[in-house]
Structure 1
Amino acid sequence: MEKHMNYGSDYKFIPASSLGNGLSIEVLPDVLCHTVQIVNICLVGNPETQEFVIVDAGMPNSADEIISVAEERFGANIRPKAIILTHGHFDHVGAIIELIEHWDIPVYAHELEIPFLTGKKSYPEPDPTVEGGMVSKLSFMFPNEPINLRKNVEKLPSDGSVPHMPNFRWIHTPGHTPGHVSYFREKDNVLIAGDAFITVKQEYLYNVLTQEQEISGPPRYFTPDWKAAKESVMELAGLKPSVAVTGHGLPMSGELLANSLDTLVREFDHIAIPDYGKYVNKNVH
């Protein structure tokens, strides 16, 4: 039996990009958000201590870029302690096998996400028929077969703590995927939200290209459970985050974030839930 880690057979480079591609934003002294094509990764840790983790692992074929961003911030021979995942969709684990092999580090994810990361389960297929723009229509190209990290992925501790991310706790925020998690630090109310909500209308090519800021629910073409997605947004809004780094779009903070989250909660059915699509259950409304 093949002992090596492997991506799904449908893994491939996706030729999609945005104006944010390659951009690094220091959200806080110990939180760097870096955009790989159309998705964000976070480097969490203070460069002075040289201890850090990477949250999520970018797009297919992006390992070299991620390694160079990490080396530029922390030094050439410093490796992260771990890769911490929000979820396992292809654009969040795109370079993970190369990163594990390069750095020899563990990966952590919610236990409900592990089957999708160990070759046991495929995510529901993306829905190119969902209401939305060009990115939705192109989503049939997006890989959804499971990757297999074998024994390199471990489940997040059940007490809510996050390995090598002191003061952060993980919050189960399902909907977009069964084991989707967000990470929150109470002392300064920083939120790494993954795709529980995002700050760009990810379905619309123009918005993705220009990174025009607008709060949105999880990407529509990849979200099968809208009832859970709504509850997750309500829980995150209740934390009153001061700054949010999301899986897609620019970081959002302060009044803009507070007002946007309030609006998203209040008008979730209208803003987030598509009018039609194969995962839309009218009972949500």
Structure 2
Amino acid sequence: MFLKNVAPGIHLIQSHNVNCYLLEDDQGLTLVDAGLPRVWTELGHAIRELGRVPADLKALVLTHAHFDHVGVAAKLVEQLGISVYAHHEEVTLAAHPYRYAHENPVAAYPVQHPRAIPVLLSMVLGGAAVVKGVTVTRRLEAGQEVPVPGRPRVVLSAGHTYGHCALHLPQSDALITGDALVTLDPYTGLTGPRIVAKAATADSAMAIESLHALAQTGATVVLPGHGDPWLHGVGRAADEARRTGAA
């Protein structure tokens, strides 16, 4: 599914329960997160629906480097030669996207949370088992305005991974939260603002603490890595996520 202008100059590609975002300005396009491998065709369609061509895609910015966020990254580098931005703590994970820290075993979650089964199966069909690693070529720093189309500002939000970064776009009153704050937890199937379950989170206490940094942006529109956009303010979303805690 492709949704134009979920916030001004920000477009959503939602595929196999994973979200990617295209940032657009006069300088071209930036892709935020690279989904699963099967998003490739949808990404091409989205670029053309915007009246653009693949050469207009200037950079890939990763909120973090789990396998479901780097799916087409290597292919983009191979075919377009674009730069890949991520925090230095994500460099090793980007190269080896299945070697991620998590607090709880993954296998128990579909048994405990059967509503997650169709979500996880959809991700498998999206290519979750065949993701290639990618080399990070540019580093993100906390507070940095990234020199790419859209000019997002980095909000360090560690916990889901140790180098997780959200991206604030004040001109659009929007915050791309990646998996620091989602509205669908793939490991439980639960919806509404929350952090991702311990099956895929490195440090849930750190993730809860990072909600404060997200809330400080004051953004109205929250654009998560999984689930639908939240339009009621990041402060309220962060409060709900704290109350819910980690599954």
TM-score (norm 2): 0.83
CA shift digits 1:19-49 (9 cap, x unpaired) = xxx2424212310111011111000013xx2
Which residue of the other structure, out of 165, 168, 173, is the alignment partner of 1:184? 168
Corresponding residue number in structure 2 for 1:198: 182
Gaps of 5+ in 1: 1-21, 208-212, 275-285
SS in 1 for 2:56: coil
Structure number with the higher strand fraction is 2
The question of 1:248 aligning with 2:226 is answered yes
Corresponding residue number in structure 2 for 1:37: 16
Corresponding residue number in structure 2 for 1:160: 144
Contact 2:85/2:138 (8 A) holds in 1: yes
- 1:56 alignment partner AA: D
Contact 1:136/1:220 (8 A) holds in 2: no
Note the 1:134-149 alignment, pairs <5 A: 134-135=115-116, 147-149=132-134
Corresponding residue number in structure 1 for 2:5: 26
Corresponding residue number in structure 2 for 1:277: none
Q: What is the CA–CA distance in structure 1 between the aligned matches of 2:101 and 2:131, rounded to whole Å? A: 11
Contact 2:44/2:54 (8 A) holds in 1: no
RMSD: 3.0
CA distance 1:203–1:118, shift in 2 (3 Å): closer
Q: What is the CA–CA distance in structure 2 between the aligned matches of 1:143 and 1:219, rounded to whole Å? A: 18
Corresponding residue number in structure 1 for 2:245: 272
Return the index of the structure with the highest Cα Rg: 1
The question of 1:92 aligning with 2:73 is answered no
- 1:214 alignment partner AA: G
Corresponding residue number in structure 1 for 2:48: 71
Q: What is the CA–CA distance in structure 2 between the aligned matches of 1:254 and 1:222, rounded to whole Å? A: 26
Q: What is the CA–CA distance in structure 2 between the aligned matches of 1:63 and 1:145, rounded to whole Å? A: 14
Aligned residues: 239
Q: What is the CA–CA distance in structure 1 between the aligned matches of 2:85 and 2:188, rounded to whole Å? A: 31
- 1:174 alignment partner AA: A
- 2:88 alignment partner AA: E
Contact 1:184/1:192 (8 A) holds in 2: yes
User: Shift in Å at residue 64 of structure 1?
Assistant: 2.2
Q: What is the CA–CA distance in structure 2 between the aligned matches of 1:143 and 1:105, rounded to whole Å? A: 23
SS in 2 for 1:252: coil
Contact 2:165/2:178 (8 A) holds in 1: yes
User: Shift in Å at residue 146 of structure 1?
Assistant: 8.5
Note the 1:51-62 alignment, pairs <5 A: 51-62=28-39
TM-score (norm 1): 0.73
